[in-house]
Structures are given as C-alpha cells and as structure tokens.
Chains A and B, each alone.
Chain A
Amino acid sequence: MTTASLSGEVIVSFYAAASCLAPAITRPTVPFGVRVPPERADAPVIRQQRRAYYGRTAIIGACCIALVVLLQDRGSWWLSRIILLAEIVADLGCFLIARNRIAAVKQAERWYAGHRQVVATDTSWRTDPPRFPVRWLIPALTVIAATILIGALRYPHLPARVTADGHLVPKSVVSVFAIVAAQLYVTAMWTGIMLLVYRSRPDIEAVDAAGSTRRYRRFLAACTRAVLTLLALVDLTLLLAALRNWQVYRLSGIGSALPVLPFAVGLLVLAVITFRVGQGGSRLPGGGRGGYGPVAGVDRDDDRFWKAGLIYVNRDDPAIMVGARFGVGWTFNLANPMAWLVIAGIVATPAGLVAIGAALGM
C-alpha cells in the first residue's frame, strides 16, 4: 500500500459519499439545478427523482470503491484517477437524468405561471460585512513554517540523491523544498478563493430574505473555518510526506499511509460541517425571526443562466463567484472575464512553479 494509492481510495470514497448526499445538502428550491417555487419544493417528481438518484449513485459509488480497493496494488498511481473520472462521469449522468425529468414537469405544468419573480438582497451584507476569520489561517502557516525550519535543519545531512515524487533526484534546494511550494500554493489559492467568496453575494431567498441572510452568514463562517482547517491538515499531510523524504522517520506496511491521515480527517471535517449547515445555510434552523421578514414574490427562475444546471454563464451579472447550484460551495460566472483570469491564475501557477523548478534544477 502506498500513500498515492491510499489517497486515491480516500478521494474516490469521499467523492462517492459527497456526490450521493449532494441533494440532501442542496437548497430545496433548486433540486438538481432546477429553480422551483417554494410550494413545489416537495413535488412528487422531485421526491421520486431524488430517491432514484440516491439509489443510482450509491451503487456507482460502491462499485468504484470496491474497484479501487481491489486494484490498489496493481497498475500505477493513475488507476485510481481513471476510476475517479469514471465515477464523476457516471454521477453526472445520474444528475442530468434527474434534472431533465424535473425540468420537463416544471415546464409542462408551468410552475412559475402567476408568480411575481424577484431578486432580493439585504444591504446589511455590505454595510455590516462579515469578517474573514484570519486567525484560522495560523495553523496552516505554522505547519508551513515548521516544514521550512525542519527542511533547513535536515538539508546539510541529506544524501546527494533525495526522494521527490517517488523518484530519486539529485539533492538541491528546489528538489528538497518543492513540497513547501506546494504547501504555499494550496494555502494561498484556497485563502484567495475564500476571500473572493467573502466579497461575493450571499444566497438570499425572497420568501425569507432576512432569515436566509442570517443563515448565510453562519454558513459562510462555518465553511471558511472548515476549509482553513482542511488547509492546515493538507499542509500537515505534505509535511509528513516531506519528513519521510527527508529520512526523519521510516514506516512500512500500514504505517506508510500515515501522511494521508490528516488529509482524510480534514475532508471528514469539511463533509460533516457542510452536511450540518447545508448550501447557503439551508439546513440551519432559525428562519423568519427578526429583520423585516419576506419580500413579496418568489426567487426568479434563473435556469437559463445555468448550463446543464451546473455551470453559471450570465453576461449581465457582474459577479465573479456565485453559490453553487448543486451540493455545497461556490462556482464561477464564466461570462465574466475576471473569472477566467482567476481560473487561469489557479491553473498557471502550478505549471509556472514546475517550469521554474525545472529551469533551476537544470
């Protein structure tokens, strides 16, 4: 059992669970990416499609987990990636079946006929904005600092050839400290995304605008803390991998899986938190108390801006990021050039780091 194959198992299992349970944590008024009026949120077709989706994705997930466990010691590290890809495609198919059936009934029965469709916001989101929990970054930064310190102390004692990415390479500052670059990249990228999310708009429901704004604040605070905790644990996983490469410890058998443990715990924490709060805080209690209550109307039918119910493309919307339509999280507005710039930065940075590493390594 290697760290790579075990992390493959962790990711395939996590994706199976997250994908299967996504309808439970999604907002009830956007089942499978279809916007429905609140009184239709429990329509027979939605209940039926949700049940079918749970069944299908549970079977797919069980098959994929069985496959990745059985094949863990055969093939290369990419085998779990292929299984993961197949799992994603199959689950996407289940999602689209449910979405198309619900959308067809919605259209045939004209669910939005006679509804006043509105977009609601609470200006207090801007005049009294939530604060980013900077202190929750301390654990991640401490782990990175520890990695740099231990690396610097170990460097003179390392042999001429060191392990990096599972291969033996000549010892150099780049090959020894590449893992620190990975830590910095992951931490900076996710912190940047969460900062962007703090500037984005909250998901506010017209039927309970004041209550949903309050719930969104709690949701954002909880999710940000969970993400920053996950970051610290991912950095710890990288530190443990680095320590092994730097010959600080050596474990064989099941012990070699030690570095994956913090990462798995982080994913579990994130999953538990998101399951408790739901998308935009939709599973949190406390609606309609205080504030100014509802606004007249229902949330606007915005299905036309959601391609395949998952991808947001709206030219008239200046937002860079918006709340995800399925599951918990956020997504980019792909009609906004700034969103593409951010995506390019996320993709180009690791490529740039690898290129710089290669150039310096030579």
Chain B
Amino acid sequence: MLLSVEPDGPVPIYQQIRDRIVEAIAGGLQPAGSGLPSTRQLAVDLGVNFHTVNKGYDLLRQEGLLRIGRKSGAVVQRDAGSGPPRPDWAQDWAARLQTLLAEAAAQGLPAQDIVRHCQEAIAAFTFPVDGEPGPGPVGQL
C-alpha cells in the first residue's frame, strides 16, 4: 500500500499513520493477515521518529486492527470480512460520526451533499459478498 503523511500538517503524524492504515484496511488494500513494515522500518521510510510510528501502531493494536508479534512483525488482525464489531465499539463510533456529521451541518453543507460524500466514501471500501465470510481474524491477540 502507499502511505503518505503530511509532516508539517495540523494532524499529528502518528494519527495520520493510523488513519491511512485504517483506510487501507477498509479499501481492501491491507486484508486481514497481510503484513505491514516494522515500526523501525516505517520510521526510516517516513523519516520520522520511531516513537511516532509506535504510537500510531499502538492505536491500531488497541482497536483490534493490528497484531504486533516479535517474530511475525506487524500483521493486520481484522478487516470487513472478519465479522461484526463489538457492540460497545459501534456505539462509540456512532457518537464520533454524529460529531463529524454535525460539523458539516453546522458549516452549512446541505443534507444531500453530506449523504453523497458518505456514499462516495463507502463506494471505495471493500465489503465481503453475503454468505461468503472473509478469512476472519488471524491468530489470537
């Protein structure tokens, strides 16, 4: 996958790394079981501090999206085909989505435009075909 960050941008670099990897998983570019560079390698490739990458990977690990093993390295733990998320996670996410949509409404973006943006974003994601579950989570946390 291609990963780009804006070092001088307003979003912290570790957050950008986390966001790009989440997008790659949703887009099917990094399916469950696929590998990612080690924290040291990614730090060298992006020219950023090792701890910055570590922080981004740690967020993904806490979200259950990434597994970091001493031997296996960083491996994507789950994707769209790995079954439904935990109920409390969905609740939490809905609350964050509410804020994000509220931002658009408060700025005066019409409702149909908001829906169009959502549809465009979802169109870029990969979802498993009904009745054919994906490979599922790999290994245990």
Contact B7 A300 (CB under 8 A): yes
Contact of B42 among A126, A202, A316 (CB under 8 A): A126
- A201/B36 contact (C-beta < 8 A), A119-B5, A121-B3, A318-B50 known: no
Query: Does the CB pair B6–A117 fall under 8 Å?
Result: yes
Contacts of B29 in A (CB 8 A): 292
Indicate if B43 sits at the interface (CB-CB under 8 A): yes
User: How far is it, in angstroms, between the C-alpha of A122 and the C-alpha of B3 when the chains are bound?
Assistant: 6
CB neighbours (8 Å) of A116 from chain B are 6, 9
Whether A295 touches B48, Cβ cut-off 8 Å, given contacts A123-B42, A126-B37, is: no
Contact A291 B48 (CB under 8 A): no
Contact mask for chain A residues 18-30; partner B; CB cutoff 8 A; 1 contact, 0 none? 0000000000000
B8 in contact (CB, < 8 A): yes
Complex formed: what's the CA distance from A120 to B45 in Å? Answer: 8
Tell me if A297 and B6 are in contact (CB < 8 A): yes
Contact in complex: A318, B40 (CB < 8 Å): yes
Q: Mark A224-256, 1 if CB is under 8 A from B, else 0.
A: 000000000000000000000000000000000
A209 contacts the other chain (CB 8 A): yes
Across the interface, do A125 and B1 meet the contact criterion of CB distance under 8 Å? no
Query: Is the beta-carbon distance between A127 and B36 smaller than 8 angstroms?
Result: yes
Structural contact, B47 and A123, CB atoms closer than 8 A: no
Q: How large is the interface on A (under 10, 10 to 19, 20 to 34, 35 or more residues)?
A: 20 to 34
Q: Give the residue of A120, A200, A316, A319 whose beta carbon is less than 8 angstroms from that of B3.
A: A120
Contacts of B44 in A (CB 8 A): 199-201, 317-319
Q: Does B46 contact A (CB under 8 A)?
A: yes
Q: Per a CB cutoff under 8 Å, which of B4, B7, B47 touches A206?
A: B4
Q: Are A121 and B50 in contact (CB under 8 A)?
A: no
Inter-chain contacts of B3 with A (CB < 8 A): 120-123
Chain B interface residue bracket vs A: 20 to 34
B32-59 CB contacts (< 8 Å) to partner A = 34-38, 40-50
Q: Is A46 interfacial (CB 8 A cutoff)?
A: no
A316 to B45, Cβ gap below 8 A? Answer: no
**Residues in B1-36 with C-beta less than 8 Å from chain A:** 1-9, 29, 34-36
Known contacts A123-B36, A126-B38; is-contact A118 B4 (Cβ 8 Å): yes
Name the one of A124, A209, A291, A316 contacting B4, with C-beta atoms under 8 angstroms: A209
Whole-angstrom distance between the alpha carbons of A199 and B43 in the complex?
12
- Interface pair B36/A121, CB less than 8 Å apart: no
Given contacts A297-B6, A300-B7, 7 further A-B contacts (CB under 8 A): A120-B3, A121-B2, A123-B36, A126-B38, A202-B45, A292-B2, A317-B47
* Interfacial residues, chain A to chain B (CB-CB below 8 A): 116-127, 199-202, 206, 209-210, 291-292, 295-297, 300, 314, 316-319
A-B contacts, 23 of them at CB < 8 A, read: A118-B5, A121-B42, A122-B3, A123-B36, A123-B37, A123-B42, A123-B45, A124-B1, A125-B45, A126-B38, A126-B41, A126-B42, A127-B36, A209-B2, A209-B4, A210-B2, A292-B1, A300-B7, A300-B8, A314-B47, A317-B44, A317-B47, A317-B48
